[in-house]
Structure 1
Amino acid sequence: MYHGGGGEPRIKNISSDVDRQSILQKYAYKSDVACISNLRMTRRCFTKLCDMLHTLGGLSTSRHMDIDEQVAIFLHIIAHNVNNRVMIGRFQCSGETNSKIVTRVCNAMIRLHPYLLKKPEPVTENSTVQKWKWFKLGVGFGKPNDKI
């Protein structure tokens, strides 16, 4: 037990780092099948995403949580459309912590967009690719009164 700000003793949260690591092991690292089922990506892809979020996105470990655990919580919420109340029980974190994690990882993901998204190249008017002939008016070239 430790004392909170009011001088009243509080009981420390039962979940320790070991418990949370075993949960992460179950959700992300147990097998590719488990990782795809829980996070919608393979273990290799998950590890690469964590590395990119750290090096390019600026995501860092917090005092109590590693990057891979933060990313796993974020991906699980996004993949399964799970609300905060459900996540409290699954990853042994408070609702406030989950909310902060989602915000941090989402901001790091946004910083990755120049590396992950490619700007589309416009289709030229003299394109010889057959599939574009059907979209002449919708792609931005041709006049509205032109006949196809």
Structure 2
Amino acid sequence: MVSKMNKIKRMARGAVVFVALAAMEVIVRAIIRKRRPRITYGPMHERDRIRFDYLNQKIWQSDVLCKNMLRFERAAIFCLCGILRDHNLLEDSPHLSVEQQLAKFLHTIGHNLRNRVISAIFCRSYGTTSIYFRKALHAIGELRNDYIRPPSLETPKKIAGNH
């Protein structure tokens, strides 16, 4: 009986020692992690400048270019951006303004392009392009009640009188 009790006590002490060692290991790893230098990313302003230059040269330079690329005039796009901002449907992110989000969306649907093509043009990942496309699509859809009038079900008199 005594040997069984001693055996249980030894096992309990071993379990306590094991738990203490495991806790110490966790603490040591946390300390090492804190001492490790953080990963810093390179400056993103170069990529942002390239995107900004593309928008300036290919889209915002003139109304003709803007209409060819986005199927809208510049004034209409900036007005739409203001509406989307006022309704809190789109907001600027650290590296993508509402104008850029809307330009990517309009360029995609205006030329029936794939997200991969838009990703290459605007130097973004496919995931980022897809996320912002869906955001812009949702934002435009939310304006439907305010700016899209359903068709009338009545036949105009001019057509009704014409046999």
What is the aligned-residue identity percentage? Answer: 28
CA distance in 1, matches of 2:40, 2:96: 25
Q: TM-score, normalised by structure 1?
A: 0.74
1:53 aligns with 2:84: yes
Q: Are positions 1:108 and 2:133 aligned together?
A: no
Rounded Cα–Cα distance in structure 1 between residues aligned with 2:129 and 2:61: 22
Q: Which residue of 2 aligns with 1:131?
A: 159
Name the larger-Rg structure.
2
Distance 1:96-1:12 versus aligned 2 partners, 3 A rule? farther
Structure 1 contact 56–111 (Cα < 8 Å) conserved? no
What SS class does the counterpart of residue 29 from structure 1 fall into?
A: coil
One-letter amino acid matched to 2:143 = L
2:69 maps to 1:38: yes
Following superposition, which runs of at least 4 residues in structure 1 exceed 4 angstroms of deviation? 7-15
Moved more, 114-123 or 64-73: 114-123
Aligned to 2:50: 19
Amino acid at match of 2:124: C
Of stretches 53-62 and 28-37 in structure 1, the one that deviates more from structure 2 is 53-62
Aligned-pair distance for 1:27?
3.0
> Match for residue 107 of structure 2?
76
Name the structure with the higher helix share.
2
CA 1:22 to 1:130, structure 2 compared with 1: closer, same or farther past 3 Å? same
Separation (CA, whole Å) in 2 of partners of 1:69 and 1:61? 9
Of 50, 56, 67, 2:98 maps to: 67
Segments of structure 1 that go 5 or more residues without pairing to the other structure are: 1-6, 135-147
Q: Which has the higher contact order (CA 8 A, sep 6+)?
A: 1
Instruction: Give a deviation string over 1:14-70, Cα, whole Å, max 9, x none.
Output: 952211111111232100011011000111111111111221251111121100000
